[in-house]
Amino acid sequence: MRHALHIISSGKQPLATVRDIIARIHPYIDMFHIREKHRSAHELWEWAQGITAAGLPEAKLAVNDRVDVALACHAAAIQVAYHSLPPDIIRRLVPNKQIGVSVHTVAEAEAAEAAGADYVLYGHVFASSSKPGLAGRGLAALQETVESVNLPVIALGGITPDNAAEVLATGCAGIAVLSTVMHATDPVLSVQRFQQVMQGIRVSPRCAWPTAKRERIQ
């Protein structure tokens, strides 16, 4: 079983830039999350259309918090905050989507599992530029979460190629990255470095991410 690599939009780049990055990295990632809280439903739909036109399969597309947009653009997954609609309610509306919940504690992860989530996004593990001034929750808290639920746990927050191995050693299903890839001078090289770490890790995920085959970067 291999680990998954999720990439999340930063909310600070225009669609044209994101499309260019996606066109180059999409074969080597497992999921791309459109996380643009400041954009309208129409803008998010345009983003989804542009990103899939750049080559990202719908099976690798997640939309954050907008069930309507996810349905309209045939995204494979919906990522919601812990305080958003519960997964079991969302599933009544869109029964064929993966539903992920962003969590910060074991209790939140357990509640998400009980409500029918398919996976959880746990963060933030380390201090991160997207959460300035907030200390990371650490590897021990991540591992406790991984061991507390029977769901894939994707780790988020301050993860780099230099610390990814210790994150994956917790048994999490994979990692999610924002600026380390999306704001990199060479996004392909950044993805390559993450994938090299993943290919070398010997600890299997406790609950693996169900996904299509990802191309290997030699």
Q: Would you name the residues annotated as active-site residues? A: 124
Residue with tokens 């050693």: 169
Contact yes or no for 216/13 (Cβ under 8 A): no
CB-side exposure of 125: number of CA atoms within 13 Å?
28
- Name residue, tokens 């990632």: 29
**How far is the C-alpha of 65 from the C-alpha of 85, rounded, in Å?**
9
d(CA 55, CA 134): 36
174 alpha carbon, distance to own chain's centre? 9
**Which helix (H) or strand (E) is 44 found in, with range?**
helix 41-53
